[in-house]
A and B are shown apart, each in its own frame.
Chain A
Amino acid sequence: MQKIQHYVLFPNHDNGMRLYGILKEAGIKATIAPTPRAASKCCGISLLVREEDLEAIRKFIDENHIEILKIAAIERDINPRRDRYC
């Protein structure tokens, strides 16, 4: 089964931590994660978020002047269940 994951990508850690704090306060689930190499050359952090929260997250980004690179939808590369049949 393929799974699409949504990542907010940032130019630097400062912006990532700012948005993380804002989302946490608003009760929106976000997990700090390394930036997927497939999504950006820019190392640093990204926020793994839920698809259903994307609209609200975009609003928070605009309202708080958070600089982001993009919001990327990426297929999950690792599947621990791959080639397991029992």
Chain B
Amino acid sequence: MNPKIYFDNGSTSWPKAPQVASSMSELLESGAFNINRGNYEGAYELESLVLLTRMQLARLFHAPDSRHVIFTPGITYSLNYLIKGLLRPGDHVLVSSLEHNAVMRPLCQLASQDIHYTMIPAETDGTTQPESVEALIRPETKAVIMLHASNVCGTILPIREIGDICRRHHLFFAVDTAQSAGSVDIDMQECNIDFLAFTGHKGLLGPQGIGGFLISEALDHELTPLIAGGTGSQSDSLLMPDYLPDKYESGTMNLPGIIGLHAALTYLEEAGIPAIHQKKMELTGYFLKRIQEIPQAHIAGKQTIQNRLAVVSLDFPEYDNAEIAFSLEQDYGIMTRVGLHCAPMAHQALHTMPHGTIRFAFSHFNTTEEIDCCIDGLRELFSV
């Protein structure tokens, strides 16, 4: 039996950062009290950890203030809060051609309410030219919503340049950092980002079920909270508080998730994101080099490590990609993700629709030996 090799870090990271599991377990065993409600020392101590976690996220994304950090169950929820809380009939938004269904499905739900979108074109390797954005802006355009890096091919989008365009045209700018957070530096203020959606369980190495968004002052004034309920504050009023973070955080919070994320962020601060990113890119470069040994494999997207993350999609045009992924797992213990990766528009742009690709997404816990195992397995499968 081969040891298992995990190359599905684009879906969720594994292993998680050290201390994530133990911190969550300790919380649940020693007193998982309810913050913003309980009036006792144990609850106050947890509130202080939640505040520390907000501060870590504010530092990570260069937010003006930790009050602008809002917790949600993840990016999909965050993007729904944005799209459904901001857009009104007659509004128009621009999205990239590589969007995930976390953006496309909420937008398509709103089509019947006279809310429309236009896609910014992408080249066949996922490259998006900022110059193409301005011509697409209409008088009724309210925002640009885009991912920072493709979850299919890893191509990084030019958020700094597009942020500049948004600033000049007074458009809100929303960025989905699902693949990039924890890998590259993201400066919310320098890139003029009004809404930065993040998840805790991918590059940030935390547990599933915790994520959130960071919001600018200007967007906060325009955004209606999608969920209303108890916040533990201003309880004499039947209206939602209008201050942050309470305005967007109704109901009991995911404390185990936040405590796990706190442990993960502490690990990232100590290990250093640039060092982690460098290791991931070395592995990606090694994989891209060795995959040349398999003539049947076609890389969807960028062929080199320039302007990309550690996410690589392979297409085997003469074969069924699902069958290859199945063999990799069954015969060599290699875990990948095959299909459309919830991003049909990206596959359209990359010309891999409808058959999809096999995605290999590396973490800094992976090794070159594991990549060797994968390439050797593919060589054996294709007799090369």
Contacts and interface: CB of A to CB of B under 8 A. Distances in A.
Q: Do A and B come from one complex?
A: yes
Interface of A: 11-14, 17-18, 20-21, 32-34, 41-45, 65, 67
A13 B236 contact: no
A67 B268 CA distance: 31
A42 B234 contact: yes
B44 A14 contact: no
Contacts of B231: 12
B244 to A, nearest CB: 8
A34 B44 CA distance: 11
B233 A44 contact: yes
A14 B236 contact: no
A42 B236 contact: yes
B39 to A, nearest CB: 4
A12 B241 contact: yes
Nearest to B41: A32
A41 B234 CA distance: 8
Main SS at interface, chain A: mixed
B235 A43 contact: yes
A17 B47 contact: yes
A12 to B, nearest CB: 4
Contacts of A67: 243
A21 B44 contact: no
Nearest to B39: A34
B35 interface: yes
B36 A44 contact: yes
- Nearest first, the 3 closest Cβ-Cβ pairs linking A and B are A12-B233, A41-B236, A34-B39
A42 B246 CA distance: 13
A43 B44 contact: no
Task: Report the contact-size class of chain B (Cβ under 8 Å from the partner).
Answer: 20 to 34
Interface string B222-252: 0000000001111110000101111000000
Given A14-B54, A41-B236, 9 more contacts: A12-B233, A13-B233, A14-B51, A14-B245, A18-B51, A21-B48, A32-B44, A41-B235, A44-B232
A41 B182 CA distance: 42
B67 interface: yes
A13 B243 contact: no
A33 B232 CA distance: 14
B51 A45 contact: no
A12 B39 contact: no
Nearest to A24: B48
A15 to B, nearest CB: 8
B250 to A, nearest CB: 13
A11 B246 CA distance: 10
Contacts of B246: 12, 14
Contacts of B44: 17, 20, 32, 45
A19 to B, nearest CB: 11
Given A32-B44, A44-B36, A67-B243, A11 B233 contact: yes
B251 to A, nearest CB: 14
Contact of B234 (A12, A17, A20): A12
Nearest to A33: B39
28 contacts: A11-B234, A11-B241, A12-B231, A12-B232, A12-B243, A13-B36, A13-B233, A14-B246, A17-B48, A18-B51, A18-B66, A20-B44, A21-B48, A21-B51, A32-B41, A32-B44, A33-B39, A34-B39, A41-B235, A41-B236, A42-B233, A43-B232, A43-B235, A43-B236, A44-B36, A44-B232, A65-B65, A67-B243
Nearest to A40: B236
Interface in B124-143: none
A41 to B, nearest CB: 4
Contacts of A33: 39
Contacts of B67: 14
